[in-house]
Amino acid sequence: MKIKLRPLLAKVLIYILLIGISLIMLIPFAWMLTSSFKMNKDVFTYPVVWWPKEFITSNYVRIWEEIPLLRYFFNTSKLTVLITILQLLTSTFAAYAFAKMKFPGKDFLFLSYICTIAMPWQSYMIPQFIIIKKMGLVNTHLALIILQSFTAFGVFLVRQFYMEIPNEICEAARIDGMSEYGIYAKIMLPLSKPVIATLTIFSFTTIWNDFMGPLIYINSQNLKTIQLGLRSFITEYSSEYSLIMAGSVVALIPVLIVFACLQKYFVEGIASTGLKG
C-alpha cells in the first residue's frame, strides 16, 4: 500500500509545484490587468491593491481615442497573418524535402540551414538593412514580409515531425503514381495538424510582439505596428500608466485568442516532434 501511495504523492507534489510556479508567473499579468481599470494615482500604490474599489472602464475607450490604435491593429494583423501563412508554407515544404526526399548534400544543407538559428540577429542586422535599402523597400511592409517569411526553427520543428511518419506511406503513394507535390499536399499536410498548430502559435506570437524589426524598417506613422504605437504612446504620455496598461492588455488579446484556439494541438505537436533524425 505504501509503495502505491508514493507515486501518487509524488504526482500530487509535482502538480502543486507546477501550479505554484504558474501562479507566480501570472502575477505580472494580473497586476497589468487590474491596473488598466485604475486611476493613474492608484497604479503604484503600496501595498498593491489587486482589486480596485472603482473600475475605470473609460481607460479602454480613451486608448482608442488618444492614438490610432485601430490602424496599428490593422497593420500588425496584416503582417502577422501574411508572414505566419508564408512561414507555414515554406517550413512545411522545406521540411518535407529534408525528411522524405533524397538528393545530394541533403544532410549538409539541412545542418547548415539549422546552424543559422545559433546566429544572433544583431550579427547580420546591418548587412540585411543595406540589402533592403538597395532594393528600395525601407519603410514598407514588404521588407518585413520578405525578411520574416522563412524560419529555420520552423523547418527543424516540422522536419522532426515528418521523420516520425513512416516512409512506407510515401513510397506507396509514389508507386501509385502520385507526384511529390501530391504527397506533400494530400498526405503530409493532413497529418501535420499538431505541428502546424504549434508552429502557428510560435510564429504568430513572435511576429505580433516583434519590436526591433518594425523599428528599423518602418518610419511612417501609417505603417507602424501596435508595438511601435504603444512605444510612441509611452513616450508621449509617460505618466498615463493606466492607459499604458489598457493598451498592453488590448495588444495581448489576439495572442490569447490564437493560443486558446490551438492549444489542444500544442502539447501534441511538441511531443510529436521528438529528436529523431
User: What is the DSSP secondary structure assignment for residue 114, as one 8-state letter?
Assistant: H
**pLDDT over 70 (residue 5):** no
* Amino acid 274: pLDDT: 46
| Under 8 Å between Cβ of 196 and 92 | yes
Distance CA(231)–CA(221), nearest Å, equals 12
CATH numbers and ranges of domains, the chain = 63-273 (1.10.3720.10)
**pLDDT over 80 (residue 44):** no
The per-residue DSSP string of 54-87 comes to: S--TTHHHHHHHHS-HHHHHHHHHHHHHHHHHHH
* Amino acid 268: pLDDT: 61
Average pLDDT, the chain: 85
| Under 8 Å between Cβ of 74 and 138 | no
Poorest-confidence range of 46-60, 67-81, 115-129? Answer: 46-60
Grid cell locating 12: 500530487
* Amino acid 243: pLDDT: 85
> Whole-structure pTM over 0.95, yes or no?
no
**pLDDT over 60 (residue 277):** no
Beta carbons within 8 Å of 36's beta carbon, 6+ residues apart: 59, 60, 242, 245, 246, 248, 249
* Amino acid 143: pLDDT: 92
